[in-house]
Amino acid sequence: MTSRWLDLVDPSREELDSALPAGCDPDVIEELLAAPRPGRKPHPIIEAHGAYVFGVLVVMSPEADARAYERIDFVATPDRLVTVRRSAGASPEYDMNALRSAPAEAPVGVLVQRLVDDIADTYLDLLDSIYAEINELEDDIDTLSPARVRLRLGELRRMLLHRRRVVSGMRAVARRVLDGRVEIGEHDLFPPPVERLFGDTYDTLVRVTEEFDVARDLLSGVRDHLQSKVAENQNEVGKKLTVIASLVLVPSLVVGFYGQNFAGEFDRGYWTLAVSTSLIVGSTLVQLAIFRWRRWI
């Protein structure tokens, strides 16, 4: 059966009505026309609606901004695939021209599988970017301030959390097709050979999920490194304060013993300012020598 693939970007209601199959659920149409909601990230789904299948796929980019997630909706029938995208500025980031140039005789189920599989492959590229950011942060942790490192750690942690949720949703989409829970008629859309293809896509998404867990562990290692660095700096400060207190202790004892805060006593020979100053300087130099010898400073 010859299949048709219609890719619509920011379609009007008239364009959508002409592209969708007859009897499409009004709620689905409204969902396809809905503009992106600020602060709300899309979640992958796939549902059977009688004569067609409705799904939401999510493409992710490495940047943690408003365009980090691109939503791709689709409506699939045994003879037609309609994809709907929203442009973010000049044009959408995800390019599916290579997929659409596939042989026209490919069944719709195969086209859906190719689309899901291609998006899953982009997640592998995303992982490379995440690993690069974590390695860069780990390399710069000794030069950046602890506050800056904590801020970056929080950003990466939130990014990993949101992206792992998206990957889990995409994995659920592939699993539902693989288990035969999303179907039209007697396997008219996803026959057993296509379901087996989704098995390969599911394995890729499982691998991506595991890699996200590895990235989270690496991020925990960077956090532990930061905590050890902060503790080491605190120990250094404590050691310096202890050395300063030790250096001040003996001069304070000498000054207190000689009672140099009392007027008239400096005229006596053994109470002179030179003697007390010599004791203070000498004791301080001796302490510094001992501290240096013991490598405390």
Task: Give residue-wise pLDDT tens across range 76-99.
Answer: 998 889 999 887 654 446 777 767
Nearest alpha carbon to residue 161 among 132, 130, 139: 130
Question: Tokens 């710069």 map to which residue?
Answer: 140
More confident residue, 263 or 124: 124
Share of the chain above pLDDT 70, in %: 86
What is the DSSP-derived secondary structure letter of residue 181?
-
Task: Give residue-wise pLDDT tens across range 244-256.
Answer: 888 888 788 777 7
Residue 290: pLDDT band with limits 50, 70, 90: confident
Homologous superfamily (CATH) for 4-231:
Magnesium transport protein CorA, transmembrane region (1.20.58.340)
Non-local (6+) Cβ contacts of 32 within 8 A are 11, 16, 20, 73, 75, 84
More confident residue, 243 or 194: 194
Beta bridge partners of 71: 58
Q: What's the CA angle centered on 154, arms 148 and 155, to 5 degrees?
A: 90
d(CA 288, CA 294): 10
d(CA 68, CA 63): 5
Whether the model pTM is above 0.85: no
Domain boundaries of the chain, sorted by first residue: 4-231, 238-293
Q: What's the CA angle centered on 95, arms 94 and 99, to 5 degrees?
A: 125
Helices (H) and strands (E) in the chain, counts: 7, 5
**Model pLDDT, residue 199:** 92
Q: How far is CA 294 from CA 239, 241, 269, 288, in A?
A: 13, 17, 37, 10
Q: What's the order of all strands across the beta sheet hosting 4-9?
A: 4-9, 80-85, 69-77, 52-60, 45-49
d(CA 146, CA 183): 53
More confident residue, 234 or 264: 234
